[in-house]
Amino acid sequence: MDAGQTIAEVESRRLIAATPASVLASRLRAARERTLLLSCDLTGEQLLGPRLATVNPPLWEIAHLAWFQEYWCLRYRDKNLCAPSLIATADSLYDSARVPHATRWNLSLLPLDTVLHFLDDVLTRVLERIELEPDNESLRYFVELAAAHEEMHDEAFTYTRQTHGYAAPRQKDMTSPQASASAGDAAVAGGIYLLGAKPGTQFVFDNEKWEHPVVLKPFEIARAAVTNGEFAEFVDDGGYARAECWCEAGRQWRQEAAALAPVYWVKQGGEWYHRVYDNVVALPSETAVIHINWYEADAWCRWAGRRLPSEAEWEQAAATTAIDAEGTVAKRVYPWGHQPSDFLRANLYGVAGSVAPVGAFQTGDSAWGCRQMLGNVWEWTADWFNPYPGFVRDPYKEYSEPWFGSHKVLRGGCFATTAALLRNTWRNFYMPDRRDVFAGFRTCAR
- What's the rounded Cα separation, in Å, for the pair 248 and 237? 20
Is residue 10 pLDDT above 50, yes or no? no
**Between the CA of residue 384 and those of 40, 407, 408, 432, what are the distances in Å?**
36, 6, 4, 9
pLDDT surpasses 90 at 77: no
Is the same domain home to 90 and 220? no
Query: Is residue 123 within 8 Å of residue 30, measured between CB atoms?
Result: no
Domain span at 224? 177-446
- pLDDT of 121 strictly over 60: yes
308 or 182, which is more confident?
308
pLDDT greater than 60 at residue 15:
no
Cβ-contact 279, 166 below 8 angstroms:
no
Which DSSP state fits 396?
Answer: S
| 64 inside domain | yes
pLDDT (0 to 100) of residue 412: 98
Average pLDDT over residues 267-287: 97
What is the pLDDT, as a whole number, of residue 7? 39
Q: Tell whether the model's pLDDT for residue 379 goes beyond 50.
A: yes
For 382-432, the pLDDT digits (tens) are 999 999 999 999 999 999 999 999 999 999 999 999 999 999 999 999 999
- The yes-or-no verdict on residue 347 having pLDDT over 80 is yes
Q: How many domains does the chain have?
A: 2
Q: What is the mean pLDDT of residues 203-215?
A: 97
- Final residue in a domain of this structure, among 118, 137, 164: 164
- Distance of alpha carbon 420 from alpha carbon 309, whole angstroms: 25
For 194, left (φ over 0), alpha (ψ -120 to 50), or beta?
beta
Whether residue 19 lies inside any domain: the answer is: yes
**Is 169 part of a structural domain of the chain?**
no
Looking at residues 307-336, what average pLDDT do you find?
95
**pLDDT tens-digit map of 232-256:** 999 999 999 999 999 999 999 999 9
How much is the pLDDT for 3? Answer: 36
Asked, for residue 170, whether it belongs to a domain, the answer is no
The overall average pLDDT reported for the chain is 93
- Identify the band that residue 82 occupies on the pLDDT scale cut at 50, 70 and 90: confident
pLDDT at 201: 65
Which of 135, 164, 193 corresponds to the end of one domain?
164
Instruction: Express as a percent the part of the chain with pLDDT over 70.
Output: 95
User: Is residue 172 one of the residues assigned to a domain?
Assistant: no
| Cβ–Cβ under 8 Å, residues 419 and 236 | no
Domain boundary among 112, 132, 164: 164
Determine what percent of the chain is predicted with pLDDT higher than 90: 87
Q: How confident is the model at residue 5 (pLDDT cuts 50, 70, 90)?
A: very low
